[in-house]
Structures are given as C-alpha cells and as structure tokens.
Amino acid sequence: MKRPELGITLTKLHCWELTQYSKCVFMDADTMVLANIDELFEREELSAAPDPGWPDCFNSGVFVYRPSIETYNELLQLATEKGSFDGGDQGLLNTFFSSWATTDISKHLPFIYNLSSISIYSYLPAFKVFGANTKVVHFLGSIKPWNYTYDSKTKSIRGDAHDPTMVHPEFLNIWWDIYITNILPLLEQHGVVKETTTGVNMDEVTEAVSHMSVSATASSPSSPPPPPTVSSEDRKEKWEQGQADYMGADSFDNIKKKLDTYLQ
C-alpha cells in the first residue's frame, strides 16, 4: 500500500501481554467513541467488524481479545516465519484468526462499532439510513483528523470541495470539537502548547507533544524515557518512512511508559 509507516502497527501485538486483564477491547488511536460500548465485553476473542476494503477480513482498528502469553508468542512466531500480507498488524491477525469470516457470526461486530470513515462516501445511501447509530468512527487511511485545519469560530474543518470526506465532515468536526474543548486546554495547562488565539497549528502541537517530558505529570511513578537523540522533526520523518527506533527511543517500553502516564 506504499505505507511503510504501517510497520509500527505491529507493536499492537503487545496488547496480548496485558495478562492482568482477562478480556480487553483494543481500539486504534484514530478511532472516536460516540456512545457507550461496554457491551463489547460480552463478546469473545476474536471479535471485530468487517474491513470495508475486503469484508472477508476483519478490520483491526477495534477488536475484542483475551490477553495470553501463549497467543502472543504464537503471533510473534507467525510474524517471524510468514510476515504480514499488508505490512501491518491487520494482515497478520487475519492470517492468525483465519476462521473469523466463516465460523462464528457472533464474532462479527456490527459495522457501527468500527465505522470506517471512507464508507460514508463509498456507500452514502447506507450511511444515510444507518449512520445515526454509529458508536465508533475509525478515521482510517493516511489522512487523519489532525491533518486538517479547523476553524474554531465556524466550528468546522477547512477543505476543498473535491475532497470526498467533505460530503459528511460531521465526524471530523466532532473530533476537532472534542480536541479543542477537552484536550487543548490540558496541553496549555501543562505548558505543552502556548495559548492559541488564532486557530490551531497542529504541526506545532504535534511537535510540542513529541517533546513533552513525561515528568510533566509529576504523579507518575514510572521514570521518563531517555530524551530523543534526534530532533523530533527528523524522528517524525523516520517514523513516516517506517524507520522507527524500535529498540531505542521508540521501543515499546518507552511507548508504554508514556501511555501509562497519560492513563494515570
């Protein structure tokens, strides 16, 4: 898919190591929850919604699973021996849980638990009928909500008329509204970004967040990751080329520490 940055998604496999939990729901960071979805915990491993591009594969942006070191090791073994057909976690997981499409319909999550934003314009009539029931939106693809420019006065994203996502920009606007209302003030409070009077420059925010010291949240018991040795701009470029520093600054341990700090 010419998206080498997807290689980093294999870090997702670490979720099977969270054995302090008996059952979990994994959600991509580019998903947005619109309604309570606690009922997902009534499902079994591996439950997921169909992928809009190939509906006999599940989309791995939202799935129910059971942490297990055994499963984790088997997944790693498969990755090492056969690799992934899409270069990311979704290809590998579909090879591993290969009976998903044919065996147990209760493992097919309704599409409203992982509504891929591209489906809105690829099947607009269905979206008009069912879209209001959406519980989770997934902004899949290489352009993410944070890549748009948002006008906080009109409460809408800016874009050109040829962009198909502009047909129904509602979800993107909700994402931005949540970001501006709930997240940005926190970042300002912690001095991560300066108070913004003239719209938001997401590049600046991303840049600032990538520099953000974990010790900014003093209550964290975990030690901060070592400071990056390359500039965050270089680091971002490396990530986008699929060359994350997996064993160093971008190691899963460091990513986990950062996530733990936010969760606390």
96 lies in the binding site for ligand GLC (CB under 6 A): no
- The whole-angstrom separation of Cα 108 and Cα 106 is 5
Among 75, 86, 120, 150, binds ligand GLC (CB under 6 A): 86
Among 5, 30, 177, 245, binds Mn ion (CB under 5 A): 30
Token pair belonging to 211: 């520099």
From 58-66, 70-78, 149-157, 250-258, span contacting ligand GLC (CB under 6 A)? 58-66
Report what 30 binds from ligand GLC, Mn ion, none; CB cut-off 5-8 Å by kind. Answer: Mn ion
Dihedrals phi, psi of 17, to nearest 5 degrees? -85, -10
Q: How far is the CB of 250 from ligand GLC (least distance, A)?
A: 16
Burial, 21: exposed, middle or buried (Cβ in 10 Å; 0-12, 13-18, 19+)?
exposed
- The whole-angstrom separation of Cα 238 and Cα 244 is 6
Dihedrals phi, psi of 156, to nearest 5 degrees? -150, 155
Report what 91 binds from ligand GLC, Mn ion, none; CB cut-off 5-8 Å by kind. Answer: ligand GLC
What percent helix, strand, coil does the chain show, rounded to 5? 45, 10, 40
Among 50, 52, 88, 145, binds ligand GLC (CB under 6 A): 88
Among 8, 10, 28, 92, binds Mn ion (CB under 5 A): 28
- Long-range (24+ apart) CB contacts under 8 A made by 225-232 are 225/249, 225/253, 225/254, 225/257, 225/258, 226/254, 232/207
59 lies in the binding site for ligand GLC (CB under 6 A): yes
Nearer to ligand GLC, 75 or 212 (CB): 75
Nearer to ligand GLC, 18 or 208 (CB): 18
Report what 9 binds from Mn ion, ligand GLC, none; CB cut-off 5-8 Å by kind. Answer: ligand GLC
Dihedrals phi, psi of 82, to nearest 5 degrees? -110, -20
87 lies in the binding site for Mn ion (CB under 5 A): no
250 lies in the binding site for ligand GLC (CB under 6 A): no
- The whole-angstrom separation of Cα 114 and Cα 18 is 23
Among 140, 184, 193, 212, binds ligand GLC (CB under 6 A): 140
Token pair belonging to 187: 């970042």
CA neighbor of 74 nearest in space, from 63, 85, 62, 82:
82
From 36-44, 83-91, 123-131, 244-252, span contacting ligand GLC (CB under 6 A)? 83-91
- The whole-angstrom separation of Cα 235 and Cα 230 is 6
Hey, which residues between 10 and 49 contact ligand GLC (CB under 6 A)? 28
**Residues at the contact surface with ligand GLC, assessed by CB under 6 A:** 6, 9, 28, 59-61, 86, 88-91, 140
